[in-house]
Structure 1
Amino acid sequence: MTATYPFPDLSTSPLPDLLSLRGRRAIVTGGAQGLGRAIAQRFAEAGAEVVIGDVNASLAATAAAEITELYGVQTTAVAMDVTDEESVASATTAAEQKLGGSIGIWVNNAGIFPSIPVSEMTTAEWDHVFAVNTRGTFLGAREAARRMTSGGVLINIASTAGFRGTAPGLAAYVSSKHAARGLTKQLALELAPRGIRVLGVAPTFVPTEGNRAAAARPSPDGIDPVDVMRPGLLGRHATPDDIARVVLFCATGLSAVMTGSTLLADAGLTI
C-alpha cells in the first residue's frame, strides 16, 4: 500500500489561498509588543484566529483587543511563562478553549538579551537566558507537537546571533540562539512524518521597545551600541513588520516545501 505523504502538493492552489490563514489558529509567545505583536497582527490580517501568550497578561490583553478591533478576527490573550512547562501547557489549553479548536501555527518569539561580560556573568544569569531563549523554545515546540495532531507549522524566532558572534556581553544570548537554530533542524527532522513543518527566522537588530531599552543601557567594555546595532546593506533598520512578513511567509502555503531552515531577515548584515 502506498503511504500518504503528509504535505500536499499546492502547485494548483491560487495565490489568495496560499496567502490566507483563514480557519487556522495560531499562538505567538511574547506577543504583547515588538516583533511578537507585529507577527500576531499580520496573522490576524491574513485571517487567522490568534492567541497572544505573554508573561505580561495585561499588555497582552490590550494588544489582543486592539488587533481584534482592527481586523475583526478573534484575537485573545493568555498569561504564559515560557520557562514553566505547567504555564505553557495550561495557557495552551485555555487558548484552545477560547478559540474552540486546536492550534495549527505556533511561533516561539519570547526572548531576552541581557548584556553581561563573561567574566562578570553569574551562573544564574546564564541559566536565565537559556531558560527563556532555549528551554522556552523547547517547551513551546513540545507543546505544539503534542497539540498538532493534524499537522501544522512551528516557527522559532532566532537571531543573526545564531549565525555568528556579535557584541561583547552577549555570550549567553549568542549561545542560546545557536541552540535554537540547532533545535529547529532537529525538530524538523522528527516532526515531518507527523505533518509538521519547522522553520526559524533570524532577524537583524530591530528597534523594538526592548531593543531600544537595551541600546540605551551602558555597554560593557566601552562598546558603542550604535556601532553594534547598525543598519545592514539596505540602509535602514528593519521594522517589526519587516520581520512579521517573513514569519507570515513561513506560516502560509507559500513556504510549503520548506522545513528545517532558518531564514536570515538581516538586511545583508551576515554576508
Structure 2
Amino acid sequence: MSTADVASHSLAQLVSLEGRRAVVTGGGRGLGKAIAARLAEAGADILIGDIDERLAVTAAERVAERHGVRAVGVAMDVTDPASVAAAANRALADLGGLEIWVNNAGIFPNVPLLAMSEQTWDQVFDVNARGVFLGAREAARRMAAAGTGGVIVNIVSTAGFRASAPGLAAYVGSKHAVRGVTREMALELAPLGIRVLGVAPSYVPTEGNLIAAAAAGLPLGDAPPTDLMLSGPIGRAGVPDDIARVVLFCASDLSTFMTGSTLLADGGTTA
C-alpha cells in the first residue's frame, strides 16, 4: 500500500486534518497539550491520554471548545499494554477511527550514573522506549485493520543525537532507542501505508520539564546555564508550539513522501 500522490492538492488541503482522528499521549500538559491543540486546529478529532486523567479531561474540554472538534480525555499509562490498548479502542469507539498517533509521553529524572538505581533506569526506559513501542504497536494494528494507513509521530529529543547533560544517561539511552526504532518501524510499517516520523525537540520550558528540573536541583533563572536549557543560534528558547507545528507537518499530507526520519526542532542547538 503506497501513500497517495498529493501534488495536485492545494496548500489548505495539504495542511488540513479534517476527518482524521488522532491520539496524543502525555497530552494533559506541556508539549502534548500544544500538539493536541494544533492537530485540532487543523481539523482532527483528538483523544488525549495522560497518566493524570484530570489533566487529560480538562485539556480535551478546552480543545473541543476552542476548535469545535470532538475531543476525549482518558487516563493512560503508556507502560501498561492494557491501558494503551484501551485508549486506542476508545479512539475507535468515540471518534470512529484512528489515523494519527503521537507518542509524546516521557520522563527525564536527573540522576548521576554512579548513583542511579536499576529501578530508575528501568522506569525511564519503560516510559520513554517501551511506551513508544506499545503505542506504535496498538496504533499500527488498528490502522492496518482499517486498511487506510496512517501516521505515527514519535517525540524523540536532541538527546537522541548526542549526550545532553550529566545525570541523563538513562534519558539519553532511551531517546537514542526511540530514534532507532523510528527507522525500523518505518521500514516494517511502510507496506501497510503507515508512515513513522520522529520529532526531536531541544529543551522547552513546560510545566513538566520545570518540575523535573527543579526536582533535579537545576537552576531555573531567565538564562539557565546548563547546556540542556541553552537557546541556540535562533537566539531564544523554544516554546511548546514550536514543536507542535513540526508535529502538525509530520501528521499532515505536507510530509506524505517522508518516513523514517527524525526532524530536529531545536533552534540549531544540534548543528
Q: Which band: TM-score by shorter chain?
A: over 0.9
Matched, 1:237 2:237: yes
Matched, 1:206 2:201: no
Q: 1:225 to 1:130 in 2, by over 3 A?
A: farther
Structure 1 partner of 2:173: 175
Alignment of 1:62-141 (within 5 A): 62-99=58-95, 101-141=96-136
User: What value does the CA root-mean-square deviation take over the aligned residues?
Assistant: 1.2
4+ residue stretches of structure 1 with deviation over 4 A? none
Alignment of 1:142-161 (within 5 A): 142-149=137-144, 150-161=148-159
TM-score between both structures, scaled by the size of structure 1: 0.95
Residue identity opposite 2:53 in structure 1 = A
The 3-state SS of whatever aligns with 1:23 is coil
Q: Distance in 1 between matches of 2:75 and 2:169?
A: 29
Cα displacement (A) at 1:218? 4.5
Q: May I ask how many residue pairs the two structures share in their alignment?
A: 263
Cα displacement (A) at 1:133? 0.1
Q: Distance in 2 between matches of 1:90 and 1:43?
A: 22
Q: Distance in 1 between matches of 2:9 and 2:131?
A: 35
Deviations along 1:112-162, whole A, 9 cap, x unmatched? Answer: 000000100010110000000000000000001101022000000000000
Extract unaligned runs of 5+ from structure 2.
none
2:50 and 2:77 in contact (8 A); partners too: yes
Structure 1 partner of 2:259: 259
Q: Distance in 2 between matches of 1:29 and 1:214?
A: 18
Q: Distance in 1 between matches of 2:31 and 2:12?
A: 25
Q: Distance in 2 between matches of 1:24 and 1:260?
A: 21
Deviations along 1:8-66, whole A, 9 cap, x unmatched? Answer: 11111111110000000000000000000000000010000000011110111001001
Structure 1 partner of 2:57: 61
2:185 and 2:196 in contact (8 A); partners too: yes
Residue identity opposite 1:148 in structure 2 = M
2:165 and 2:226 in contact (8 A); partners too: no
TM-score between both structures, scaled by the size of structure 2: 0.95
The 3-state SS of whatever aligns with 2:269 is coil
Cα displacement (A) at 1:225? 5.3
Residue identity opposite 2:112 in structure 1 = P
Q: Distance in 2 between matches of 1:171 and 1:115?
A: 9
